[in-house]
Chains A and B, each alone.
Chain A
Amino acid sequence: MNLRGPAKKALTEMPSLNPDRLLGLLFVAVSVAVLVLWVPNDIETGLIEKVRRQVRIGDSMMPVLSLAFVIFGAVLCLFAPQRDAPQLTLAHVRYLFALGLVLAASLLVMRWAGPFAVDLFGAEDTYRNLRDERPWKYLGFVLGGTGLVAGIMTVMEGRFSGRTVLVGFVASVCLIALYDLPFDDLLLPPNGDV
Chain B
Amino acid sequence: MDLIGYIGLGISAVFSGPELMPGVPITPFMILAGFFLGIVVGATPGLAGPMAMAVSLPILISVFGYTPDALLPVLGFMIGIMKGATLGGSVPAILFNTPGTPDAYMTTLDGYPMARAGQPGRALRIAHVSSATGDTFSDLVLILCAPFLAIMVERYLDLPEKTALLILSLAFIATVIGRSVGKGLISLGLGLFAVSIGTGEDFYPRLSMDMPALATGFSVTSAVLGVLIIGEVFKGIEDYARAQRSGQGLQAPRMEGPQGLAAGDLRRILPYIARSSVIGTIVGALPGVGSTLAATLGYSSARATHSRRDTQPEFGSGAPEGIAATEAANSSVSGANLIPVLSLGIPGNAAAVFLILAMESIGGFNPGPSVFRFSADGVNPELVIAFGLFTAMMFANLLNWTVGGVFMRLVGVMVRIPRAILLPVVLLLTLTSIYVGDPKMSAIWIAIGFGVVGYAMRRIDMSPLPFVIAFILGSRFEDTARQSFEATGGNPWFLFSSPVAASFMALAVLIVVLSFINKRSARA
A residues contacting B by CB (< 8 A) are 19-20, 23-24, 27, 31, 38-39, 42-45, 48, 54-57, 59-63, 65-78, 80, 82-83, 85-88, 92, 95-96, 99, 103, 107, 111, 141, 145, 148-149, 152-153, 155-158, 167-168, 171-172, 175, 178-179, 183, 185-193
Contacts and interface: CB of A to CB of B under 8 A. Distances in A.
B439 A192 contact: yes
Contact of A96 (B63, B206, B455): B455
Given A82-B461, A86-B461, A99 B237 contact: yes
Contacts of A92: 238, 456, 459
Interface in B372-401: none
B51 interface: no
Contacts of B241: 95, 155-158
B514 interface: no
B199 to A, nearest CB: 8
B2 interface: no
A69 B192 contact: yes
B144 interface: no
B182 interface: yes
Nearest to A22: B460
B444 A158 contact: no
B206 A63 contact: yes
A43 B205 CA distance: 8
5 contacts: A56-B485, A62-B196, A62-B474, A87-B460, A92-B456
Nearest to A191: B439
Classify the secondary structure of A's interface with B: helix
B436 A152 contact: no
Given A157-B244, A175-B428, A193-B439, 6 more contacts: A63-B206, A66-B193, A73-B174, A103-B448, A148-B424, A156-B423
Contacts of A60: 206
A60 B428 CA distance: 38
Q: Which of A72, A76, A175, A183 has the most CB of B within 10 A?
A: A76
Interface string B476-510: 00100110011001100000000000000000000
Contact of B427 (A31, A55, A148, A178): A148
A82 B62 contact: no
A59 B200 contact: yes
A189 B201 contact: no
Contact of B182 (A24, A65, A86): A24
